[in-house]
């Protein structure tokens, strides 16, 4: 009987050790796979100038306070050490952008004629991080936003919902700049923005699909931007910083977060401006 018990113990021990080795191999494989993924920081920015958005930041980036706040934003993003930066300009402007970047390295007064966050955040983070290249990934497509609001206003409850959202955007853009950046980079804010566009897609006349068709154009723009992003030659050693308007980051969180090629960074780790 003792011999049988001892044999059972030995067999159990061997089985446990074998299972342990299998689990270790699985963990090692998972870790190895993870290291082959490209790290991406999908960072939402308010448009500091040159925006067609209904509400844009009213911050004076050339004021003493504005410059100090921008510096804190830049310092946090530099910690990510991006090798590649993507910004909200068309791909055909990438070569021009990088020519401007080379000048900017020695002359920080050099600017390009795009929304100011590309200059004061994009170029400066690239300079301080030793970024290899800046890529444009935008694909501007107009869509009939006023028509969506017109349709929403035909129903009292829909109209009130949209008014409340627009009111919150107006309030948001009047907050101190650092508060704006911290809030728009939370998952909660981005998903609320994403849900707004989904809601507007449901606006329609009887037997029509006007809202869905209009929002499809905006969705197309984001998919085309993601296509431009996917065309960038990247390696597992690259660290990619994307700087775009908050609505685009909401879509990119979903695109990138569900791709096996990338690891999506927690953006809120880079909005701690109290340090």
Report which of 32, 134, 129, 120 is spatially closest to residue 79, judged by C-alpha positions: 129
Percent of the chain with pLDDT strictly greater than 70: 83
pLDDT for position 111: 81
Residue with tokens 């569900």: 258
pLDDT for position 79: 97
Shared domain check, 136 and 20: no
pLDDT for position 4: 45
pLDDT for position 142: 84
Q: If you average pLDDT over residues 29-50, what whole number do you get?
A: 75
Task: Tell me the pLDDT band of 22, cut-offs 50, 70 and 90.
Answer: very low
Percent of the chain with pLDDT strictly greater than 90: 70
Mean pLDDT of the chain: 86
Q: If you average pLDDT over residues 139-159, what whole number do you get?
A: 91
Whether the Cβ atoms of residue 45 and residue 270 lie closer than 8 Å to each other: no
Measured CA angle at 232 (ends 75, 99), to 5 deg: 65
pLDDT for position 62: 82
Q: At what angle do helices 246-257 and 210-230 cross, to 10 degrees?
A: 70
The SS3 call for residue 272 is coil
Shared domain check, 121 and 31: no
Q: If you average pLDDT over residues 116-138, what whole number do you get?
A: 96
Torsional sign, CA 7, 11, 12, 16: positive
Shared domain check, 110 and 24: no
HSE (side-chain half, CA atoms, 13 Å) at 181: 29
Whether the Cβ atoms of residue 160 and residue 219 lie closer than 8 Å to each other: no
Q: If you average pLDDT over residues 246-273, what whole number do you get?
A: 96
Whether the Cβ atoms of residue 116 and residue 128 lie closer than 8 Å to each other: no
Shared domain check, 131 and 16: no
Shared domain check, 22 and 81: no
Record the tokens describing residue 88, joined without a space: 């909200």
What torsion, rounded to 10 degrees, do the Cα atoms 110, 75, 126, 188 define? -110
pLDDT surpasses 90 at 91: yes
Of the ranges 5-19, 109-123, 259-273, which one carries the lowest mean pLDDT score? 5-19
Phi, psi (rounded to 5 degrees) for 262: -125, 160
pLDDT surpasses 60 at 15: no
Cα–Cα distance between 113 and 130 in angstroms, integer? 22
Shared domain check, 26 and 75: no
pLDDT for position 13: 46
pLDDT surpasses 70 at 25: no
Per the structure, how many domains does the chain have? 2
Shared domain check, 69 and 20: no
- Structural domain harbouring 23: 1-35
Shared domain check, 66 and 194: yes
Q: What is the pLDDT of residues 172-187, one digit of tens each?
A: 888 999 999 999 999 9
pLDDT for position 36: 87
Shared domain check, 9 and 120: no
What ranges in 207-245 are assigned the alpha helix state H? 210-230
Record the tokens describing residue 227, joined without a space: 């296509």
Of the ranges 14-18, 58-62, 136-140, which one carries the lowest mean pLDDT score? 14-18
Shared domain check, 152 and 19: no
Whether the Cβ atoms of residue 230 and residue 75 lie closer than 8 Å to each other: no
pLDDT for position 57: 54
Shared domain check, 15 and 142: no
Shared domain check, 142 and 60: yes
């Amino acid at each position: 009987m003792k011999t049988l018990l001892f044999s059972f113990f030995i067999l159990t021990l061997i089985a446990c050790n074998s299972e342990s080795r299998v689990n270790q191999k699985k963990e090692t494989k998972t870790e190895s796979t993870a290291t082959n993924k490209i790290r991406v920081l999908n960072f939402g920015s308010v448009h500091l100038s040159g925006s067609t958005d209904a509400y844009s930041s009213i911050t004076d980036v050339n004021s003493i306070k504005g410059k100090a706040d921008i510096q804190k934003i830049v310092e946090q993003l530099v910690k990510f050490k991006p090798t590649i930066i993507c910004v909200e300009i068309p791909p055909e402007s990438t070569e021009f952008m990088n020519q401007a970047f080379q000048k900017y390295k020695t002359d920080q007064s050099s600017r390009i004629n795009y929304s100011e966050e590309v200059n004061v955040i994009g170029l400066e983070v690239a300079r301080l991080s030793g970024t290899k290249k800046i890529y444009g990934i935008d694909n501007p497509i107009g869509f009939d936003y006023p028509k969506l609001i017109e349709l929403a206003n035909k129903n009292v409850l829909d109209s009130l919902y949209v008014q409340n959202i627009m009111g919150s955007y107006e309030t948001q853009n009047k907050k101190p700049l650092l508060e704006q950046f911290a809030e728009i980079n939370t998952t909660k804010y981005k998903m609320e923005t994403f849900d707004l566009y989904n809601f507007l897609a449901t606006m329609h006349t009887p037997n029509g699909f006007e809202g869905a068709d209009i929002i499809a154009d905006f969705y197309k723009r984001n998919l085309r931007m993601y296509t431009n992003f996917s065309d960038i030659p990247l390696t597992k050693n690259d660290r990619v910083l994307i700087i775009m308007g908050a609505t685009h980051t909401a879509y990119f969180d979903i695109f990138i977060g569900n791709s096996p090629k990338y690891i999506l960074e927690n953006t809120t780790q880079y909005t701690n401006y109290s340090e």
